[in-house]
Structure 1
């Protein structure tokens, strides 16, 4: 099996990368610098590192497609750096523009089996089918204010609607958009995955980044997990009571 990973140096992408390599997946990563890759991945025989100093969004679709060719899956665990530059300077639409680039490249390659696209989404976005519990007025107002003031919020929230539309129009891509709650660092711990949101931003749960990475790796490598959540947007939450 082959996979392309974007965001492989991040808190969710790095553990996902390591689990994919442990399972014998041939992984290509596109990074600005190889120095920040996890130590256990450096020099791995199954890993191909593509260094793009200006970022993958600087690549043309055909250039990106060349790195995607032959892959069965793509993992995008991208996110904005929580600095003034990271929040307010380009690339302001990093997440959704990356998903768009992946989908355009998939159209160009036209694989016989749809590409498995796994992305990190946000609990700030609702299921397109309306199955999530209705948010309260204050929560909706706060999300609107955050959307206006913080470009990364709008970027993250745009990914799922784009994928929902694209999945029905692009026969070469299927997706799973993982919606964690408040993310924290730490080792893997028990977690559960739910079809609908279990909490809002005022009563947020907890999602360990290593758990998110592990679940994304399962989506890539385990057919039963992929089949269950294909073209869906599950929420992942740590089982804090079990861990205690």
Structure 2
């Protein structure tokens, strides 16, 4: 398989690229600078590095990079700085989803291309009418007013749910919702649920970035797992230590 990874230089994106390469897949990594990738990754012969800003590529360039890919994985996110949170592009994740899905359609693939979106447990899956405590609803409403990245994540997931849908002949998708992200060196046991089992605001769990990347890679290469979560928004937590 050939997988295009956007946001490949981020903490989770690097882990995802590494997992896919270990699985023997071919990876196209979109990064602003190849220097942001570890040398151990840059030297892999199954890795192609595309130095670009995903939203600055024109339609033809983007379609060219997407052509021949079996899957696209988005690990895009906003830097946790004032400029990253409040500066442009405010709809990085959403606009990238729109443009990448348009590029897929422009290529008219013979079978659906997988689109795996890294999202957030703070975004609800409105297809399931997930119960949300009143206090969390209030906080989420405030986050929509003061934190553009949260709105971006919500709109990206809604685009896949509503505009792409579950029966699109060219695109199939999954939006992975990690809870509180932490850094770990090794993959550990983790648990995946259709909906949050705890409050993302008042009782957040934890999951390592390497576990999120492992799950995203497994979705791409394991067809049985993909069929289980296709068109859904699984929530992932690291399993509690026993």
TM interval, shorter chain, is over 0.9
Aligned to 2:31: 31
Aligned partners of 2:94 and 2:175: how far apart in 1?
12
Distance in 2 of aligned mates of 1:125 and 1:151: 13
1:136 to 121, 127, 133: 133
CA distance in 2, matches of 1:212, 1:38: 19
Output the CA distance in 2 between the equivalents of 1:39 and 1:227: 35
Could you tell me which residue of structure 1 aligns to residue 193 of structure 2?
194
- Please give the per-residue CA displacement for 1:99-134, whole angstroms capped at 9, x wherever unaligned: 1111110110110110100011111111122342x1
In angstroms, what is the RMSD of aligned CA positions? Answer: 1.2
What is aligned with 1:234? Answer: 234
Is 1:104 matched with 2:102?
Answer: yes
8 Å CA contact 1:3, 1:28 repeated in 2: yes
Asked whether the equivalents of residues 118 and 175 of structure 1 are also in contact (C-alpha less than 8 Å), the reply is: yes
Rounded Cα–Cα distance in structure 1 between residues aligned with 2:106 and 2:176 = 26
Q: Deviations for 1:16-37, whole angstroms, at most 9, x for unmatched residues?
A: 1001111111111111000111
Q: What is the Cα deviation at residue 3 of structure 1?
A: 0.5
CA distance in 1, matches of 2:194, 2:128: 12
CA contact (8 A) 1:79 1:95 kept: yes
- Aligned residue runs from structure 1 range 61-72, under 5 A: 61-72=59-70
Question: In structure 1, the residue corresponding to 2:198 is in which secondary structure?
Answer: coil
Match of 1:56 in 2: 54
Count of residue pairs the alignment pairs up = 239
1:160 matches 2:134: no
Pairing partner for 1:147 from 144, 148, 170:
144
**Which residue does 2:209 correspond to in 1?**
209
TM-score, length basis structure 1: 0.95
Show the counterpart of 1:12.
Answer: 12
Structure 2 residue ranges without an equivalent (≥5): none
Quote the offset at 1:9 in angstroms.
1.1
Is the CA contact 1:131–1:196 (under 8 Å) kept in the aligned structure 2?
Answer: no
Name the SS of the counterpart of 1:240 in structure 2: coil
**C-alpha contact (below 8 Å) 1:73/1:117 kept by paired residues:** yes
Q: Is the 8 A contact 1:123 1:235 kept in 2?
A: yes
Would you identify which runs of 4 or more consecutive aligned residues in structure 1 move more than 6 Å? none
